[in-house]
Amino acid sequence: KKKEGRLPHILSKKAQTLRGIKAKLYNKRRQNEKIQMKKTIKSHEEKETKQRQEVPEGALPTYLLDREKQSRAKVLSNTMKQKRKEKAGKWDVPIPKVKAVSEAEVFRVVQSGKRR
């Protein structure tokens, strides 16, 4: 716990003291981490949101107006599924198509070398 608590201080000190190309690379990496963190936070927030649809006048009878129609945010689940598919596809090995070979070709005598 203590180490995790000290980590931001150490990282900020490092960011301040680095110079030149090392500083640029370090800051670029930190920026990417922050962006990733914001995306994950946003996705978790999006997961729980219920979106209310606006109802035009006269669309529903008055006795049904107190019921709010809600549709859950589907954006997140679709993006997550897509990422999973990409991860799964990353390790797929392309299997070459096997050409059908006749029995005669398989069991024929193969002649090689000088003498026949």
Q: What is the pLDDT along the chain (116 residues), one digit of tens a residue?
A: 888 889 889 999 999 999 999 999 999 999 999 998 888 887 776 665 555 566 566 666 666 655 555 555 555 667 777 777 777 666 666 677 777 888 888 888 877 777 65
Range of the domain at 5: 1-35
* 50 lies in some domain: no
Q: Give SS3 for 25.
A: helix
Angle at 12 between CA 38 and CA 28, to 5 degrees: 55
Please say whether the beta carbons of 46 and 76 come within 8 A. yes
* 31 lies in some domain: yes
* 76 lies in some domain: no
Q: Give SS3 for 51.
A: strand
How many domains is the chain partitioned into structurally? 1
* 49 lies in some domain: no
How many Cα atoms occupy the beta-carbon half-sphere of 19 within 13 Å? Answer: 0
pLDDT value of residue 42? 79
pLDDT value of residue 111? 78
